[in-house]
Chain A
Amino acid sequence: MQKTAEQIEKDLLRPIFTSSAKYKIAVALAACLTLSGVCAFGYQLYNGIGVWGINSPVFWAFDITNFVFWIGISHAGTLISAILRLCNATWRRPVTRCAEAITVFSILIGGLVPLCHIGRPWLAYWMIPYPSERGIWPNFRSPLAWDFFAISTYLTGSTTFLYLPTIPDFAAVRDASKGLRKRIYRVLALGWQGTPRQWQRLEIAMHIMAIAIVPVAVSVHTIVSWDFSMTLVPMWHSTIFGPYFVIGAIFSGIAALILAMAMLRHFLHLEEYLKPLHFNNLGKLLLTMSLLWFYFTFAERLTTWYGNTPSEMDVFWQTIRLHFAPMFWTMVVCNFVIPMPLLAIKRFRTITGTAIASCTIIVGMWIERFLIIVPALDHKFLQYAWGSYKPTWVEDTLMASSFGMMALLYLLFSKFVPMISIWEMKVGLQPHGGGIITTRPAMVKPHGLVLEGPLPTDVPE
């Protein structure tokens, strides 16, 4: 049954004005987990980074695995939502905001990891190019300097991309509330009145951002992959890494999105908004990514095997057959063997089916990043310097707290911002509401009242 504009507004604003006991418990748990990470980081700062399990030659392990993992998850949102907007896929409407929020928070977390992982975190600001008393710039040849620029650009871009379409919804909250809340949302809404001129500007701004954010997203994960492929390390020095990482990022990103949507649907009772159709469509996208991931992994492994370089083959066999083989084959099962039937067979591509596939993919993609980093480092060229790696409780805690932080930020976001774009859902009610943003945005006011009178003629197509 089609919902009316008033119903939509009431349903989607509900989580902002009421919070259940379950929600409060979830926030408390996530906050505890986050806090445990803060304590672990304090312990590390006080004692030195030696409290981690990293050693020589495995100088990077859980830290950079989590960095790549979270930056990968960030490809859920902005990229997918931008592409869906540009492709005019109307089913995207309830999906985009939860996706964009994942992006912003996972970049924040991903960006925090390198700050915590360096030996002297209090000097992290030396990565910033500013005319310093030290008289030197950062080394622009270093992929880590590229990382700094890529991630800060992506964070700025995706925050803007999240904020822009939220402005009309902030106005809706403003108009529905009073007191302090009204004052806060008045600031957030930036004086939004829903005039045709404002709609037109919003549409132009969102269009520009949607186009601009796609190359930024692709470049971010390419640059992350270049942290590895710009070195001589066996199995790192590879031309395939750029696209391989981008595909892997979108893959894990969609999985994270499906999981987040399944949880939102359940906990915020959005059953009538996040429908099986959305899971079905995203499931198809996930299926494509799973196939692409398999193709890239296969191509990478096969070319290494045929090249048969001794140093690369040491790492190759470590992952396929020796020490890391259990992890490697778990990864293949998680990323391909389990998701394949669940996503390819229509009967299984349900909400439960896609959510199960997403869970295994999240695990599998974390393992993938670990297997890229650690086996290569502990089997570099000189056998005498080979090593092994075992994480300590500090690394485990920091990793758990990164998930806690994601949950916390996401939960708090769902409290302060409607997780589904109210105005875009209302536009979906319009008979012709199928434009890139909408073809007739000026017809809808934040309240969902349809304006009387003729359509404005100055709305660009």
Chain B
Amino acid sequence: MSHKWGLVVDLDRCTGCEACVVACHAENNVPTAGADQAARGRTMQWIRVERTWEGDFPNPKVRFQPVLCQQCDNAPCEPVCPTYASYHTPEGLNAQVYNRCIGTRFCANACPYTVRSFNFFDPKWEMPLQLQLNPDVSVRSVGVMEKCTFCTQRIKAAEIGAEAEKRELKDGEFTTACAQSCASKALIFGDLNNPDSEVARLASSNRSTKLLGELGTKPNVTYLERGTWQDAKNS
């Protein structure tokens, strides 16, 4: 049976520590734009933690929401790309083929989640950061769009390994960099086609919801949320 990769984000568990963001930068060779460019809106991030709050100090009610590519089944970014750089893999991932990208940026405009990062300049890493680049992930050049791949290099490695050993992939055998680094286990990655997987169980929880689900993009990222705010002393 083919796989259908999915991620669950448990908003009730997220502490907003942004370890996932750092892990993603390291795993996927995502360059840091720098303070200057970030101020101009050129942040390079494949996953971001959105902070929203209600009320003022001393009692703000803060919520954190990690947002990454939702790997939509019905992805608005795919049909608009004139060169098939943004395309749907047989396993249901939204792949971004960097070598095909000519940089029209149409996909980023079409994406309702604004999760695509564009290389406005050639990427740079300050010494000694370029020594830690992941050799399994290509570095993108200027003028190319990039985004979360669900750590496709890890998926491929695990699939190839399992095939070599002539066995099925086990749930939890591998995970994405963001999920691996999440201390509060707010991010859970796995195969939605495997009914016994943790991700499939959580995705069908009654707390589950989709980000902008009303748009009909059919995301493969599921958010879990109790929905009501509870003060620390009551919970």
Contacts and interface: CB of A to CB of B under 8 A. Distances in A.
B201 to A, nearest CB: 28
Interface string B95-116: 0000011111110111011101
Contact of A59 (B43, B84, B105): B105
Contacts of A347: none
A118 B104 contact: yes
Interface stretch (A288-296, A377-385, A398-406): A377-385
Interface in A320-370: none
Contact of B145 (A119, A126, A377): A119
Contacts of B43: 56
B: interface residue count bin: 35 or more
Contacts of B105: 54, 59-60, 118-119
B142 to A, nearest CB: 4
Contacts of A136: 83-84, 100
A126 B83 contact: yes
B51 to A, nearest CB: 8
A156 B153 CA distance: 46
B102 A56 contact: no
A136 B79 CA distance: 15
A58 interface: yes
A124 B102 contact: yes
Contacts of B76: 231-232
A131 to B, nearest CB: 15
A377 B111 CA distance: 10
B160 interface: no
B82 A59 contact: no
Contacts of A383: 52
B204 interface: no
B121 interface: yes
A136 B83 CA distance: 8
B82 A382 contact: no
* Chain A binding surface, main DSSP class: loop
Interface in A37-89: 47-50, 53-60
Contacts of B101: 119-120
Nearest to A63: B105
A123 B102 contact: yes
B110 A231 contact: yes
A148 interface: yes
A2 B119 CA distance: 64
B122 interface: yes
B83 A138 contact: yes
A140 to B, nearest CB: 9
B203 interface: no
Nearest to A227: B106
A102 to B, nearest CB: 27
B80 A49 contact: no
A123 B145 CA distance: 14
Contact of B67 (A60, A124, A384): A384
Given A119-B118, A232-B76, A59 B109 contact: yes
Given A56-B108, A232-B110, A120 B103 contact: yes
Interface stretch (B6-14, B24-32, B34-42, B180-188): B34-42
Contact of A120 (B102, B110, B215): B102
Nearest to B85: A139
B136 interface: no
B143 interface: yes
B82 A381 contact: no
A227 B83 CA distance: 15
Given A381-B212, A382-B50, A384-B67, A49 B41 contact: no
A59 B118 contact: yes
Interface in B40-91: 40-43, 48, 50-52, 65, 67, 76, 79-84
Given A232-B112, A232-B215, A118 B42 contact: no
Contacts of B109: 57, 59-60, 231, 233, 377
Nearest to A137: B84
Interface string A387-407: 110000000000000000000
B118 A118 contact: no
B109 to A, nearest CB: 5
Contact of A57 (B52, B106, B114): B114
A145 B82 contact: yes
Most buried by A among B51, B108, B145: B108
Contacts of B212: 381-382
B102 A380 contact: no
B95 to A, nearest CB: 13
Nearest to B114: A385
A144 B107 CA distance: 11
B142 A49 contact: yes
Interface in A130-163: 134, 136, 138-139, 141-145, 148
A55 to B, nearest CB: 3
Most buried by A among B37, B104, B121, B142: B104
B222 to A, nearest CB: 17
B221 interface: no
B67 A119 contact: no
B144 interface: yes
A117 B120 CA distance: 12
A118 B103 CA distance: 5
B217 to A, nearest CB: 8
B117 interface: yes
Contacts of B142: 48-50, 119-120
Most buried by A among B76, B81, B112: B112
A299 interface: no
B118 A127 contact: no
Most buried by A among B79, B105, B109: B109
Interface string B131-173: 0000000000111110000000000000000000000000000
5 contacts: A50-B142, A119-B145, A127-B102, A377-B109, A385-B113
Interface of A: 47-50, 53-60, 114, 117-120, 123-124, 126-127, 134, 136, 138-139, 141-145, 148, 227, 230-233, 377, 380-385, 387-388
Given A50-B37, A142-B79, A142-B82, 17 more contacts: A48-B122, A48-B143, A50-B142, A55-B41, A119-B103, A119-B118, A120-B103, A120-B143, A123-B102, A127-B102, A136-B83, A136-B84, A144-B104, A231-B80, A380-B112, A384-B65, A385-B113
